[in-house]
Amino acid sequence: MAALISVLACAPADEPPPDQAMSAVAHTAGAPGIGDPDFPTDGNGGYDVSHYALAVDYAPTTKRLEGVTTIQAAATQNLSRFNLDLSGLDVRGITVDGSPATFARKGDELTVTPSAPIDKKARFTVKVTYAGVPKPAKDSANLGTYGFISTADGAFVTSEPNGSKTWFPNNDHPSDKATFDFAITVPAGVTAVANGELTGQPTTAGGKTTYRWSERHPMATYLATATLGKFDLRQGKTPGGIPNFAATDPKFRSSLDKLYTVSGEVTDYWGTVFGPYPFSSTGGVVDDYAAGYALENQTKPVYGGFEPDESIIAHELAHQWFGDSLTIKRWKDLWLNEGFATYAEWLWSEHKGKQSAEAFFNDYHKRPASDPMWAYPPGRAKPGDLFNQSVYTRGGMTLHALRKAVGDQTFFQLLKAWTAGHRYGHVTTDEFIALAERMSGKDLGPLFDAWLYQPRRPA
């Protein structure tokens, strides 16, 4: 880039610059998708977000949200315009570096044209002011309802895989992670729980309270939350010294102490198995919304309308390493999240002297050849059936088959090397296989092929 600028500067003023330089400085539109072929319009091309500052004011009675999202990004190409992802909600105005920008909407794509083009590598700030009643995403296949889901006393916010666009404009794909600040204003008496840590005491004025949270480690958009409602809280530290924040809806008040204690115990234990805890706090939230699932929101797993048992807490907190700190580049590699978190459930059971991982593996392996799990290769999660049970169970079995092939010592060293080598970054299945082969000195191609990629039961 520096070389190109000097070519232009040296061109005589009365001559046009060389054609090559002209075409290289042309500014073009950023792509409407980030390049995941399974989710072609998720995320956007042409820039990389480093930080989101979200200001959200939500009224549970009217279900109306007023928001201002400030995005700090860097251009990865010369940009004439670029897209954000936003579903529903009315955009009031957008500025880029303080100057009003024009914008257009089509489906969930919000196209922003700044008043001046943006050069490759330039940092820029986008501020979007918007309002409306958020509508969660609904998927009839197997994703269910996700995104910003209103509840009687607030909202339940779980956005995997692409629901964060239902409550703020963003680059909605896990391959672009960023740090987050939240300023969430709710009626006094309502608690706002977001990722990371509170940056001070909540402030109340005019019957409204503002909670400020900050997640200082990179986070995928689908892991962002602003779960709102009446909550009982328990705060402190895990026995190992990690700040621990547990919240339960009054309907689940009886599970608050268990949520707090088990979350702390699990977080500390996974720190000995998977390597140091990647974030600055741990905990969990049980809300009164019957989601039928839990989600590993970074530092704040959310459990939807049930009292979580140890197994699911072990699962969601294992995701803090596998999914949240190490994030997949493409959704097809989802087993790197769910296979690992499922295997963590078996490891937790083994740790507690209950059923061993080997016994879990054997029970599942006994399933008949006609079981649908064997027809779905977990190494290739399908966009229309992303959360298929095979991605979880057969993904976990893949890790157990690997453990048996390389031995316990190498296997557990591998888990720590994997989390250390990609901390806060992005991962692919090929990278995991390469590391496993390097650390074991074995050709593991046939093992991974049989377990991850073949539509039949491995021998």
Contacts with Zn ion, residue ranges (CB under 5 A): 338, 341
Q: Which two structure tokens, joined as six digits, stand for 32?
A: 């409407």
Put the strands of the sheet holding 79-85 in their side by side order: 28-29, 79-85, 109-113, 102-106
| DSSP assigned state of 366 | T
Identify the residue whose tokens are 């650390």.
439
**CA torsion 296→297→300→304, rounded to 10°?**
-70
Query: Which residue, 75 or 341, has its beta carbon nearer to Zn ion?
Result: 341
CB 391 to Zn ion: min, Å: 9
For residues 213 and 184, the answer to whether their CB atoms sit within 8 Å is: yes
Q: How many CB atoms lie within 10 A of CB 215?
A: 26
Query: Which residue, 229 or 304, has its beta carbon nearer to Zn ion?
Result: 304
Q: How far apart are CA 134 and CA 57, in angstroms?
A: 12
Query: Which residue, 81 or 330, has its beta carbon nearer to Zn ion?
Result: 330
CB 267 to Zn ion: min, Å: 16
Residues β-bridged to residue 184? 56, 211
**CA torsion 41→42→43→45, rounded to 10°?**
-30
CB 289 to Zn ion: min, Å: 18
**CA torsion 108→113→117→123, rounded to 10°?**
-50
Query: Which residue, 78 or 195, has its beta carbon nearer to Zn ion?
Result: 195
Residue with smallest beta-carbon separation from Zn ion: 341
Query: Which residue, 42 or 338, has its beta carbon nearer to Zn ion?
Result: 338
CB 332 to Zn ion: min, Å: 16
Q: Select from 213, 169, 221 the least CA-distant residue to 191.
A: 213
CB 338 to Zn ion: min, Å: 5
CB 171 to Zn ion: min, Å: 23
CB 279 to Zn ion: min, Å: 17
CB 304 to Zn ion: min, Å: 13
Query: Which residue, 70 or 145, has its beta carbon nearer to Zn ion?
Result: 145
Put the strands of the sheet holding 155-158 in their side by side order: 137-139, 144-150, 155-158, 226-229, 191-194
Query: Which residue, 91 or 452, has its beta carbon nearer to Zn ion?
Result: 452
Q: Is the Cα torsion angle 136, 140, 143, 145 positive or negative in sign?
A: positive
Query: Which residue, 95 or 311, has its beta carbon nearer to Zn ion?
Result: 311
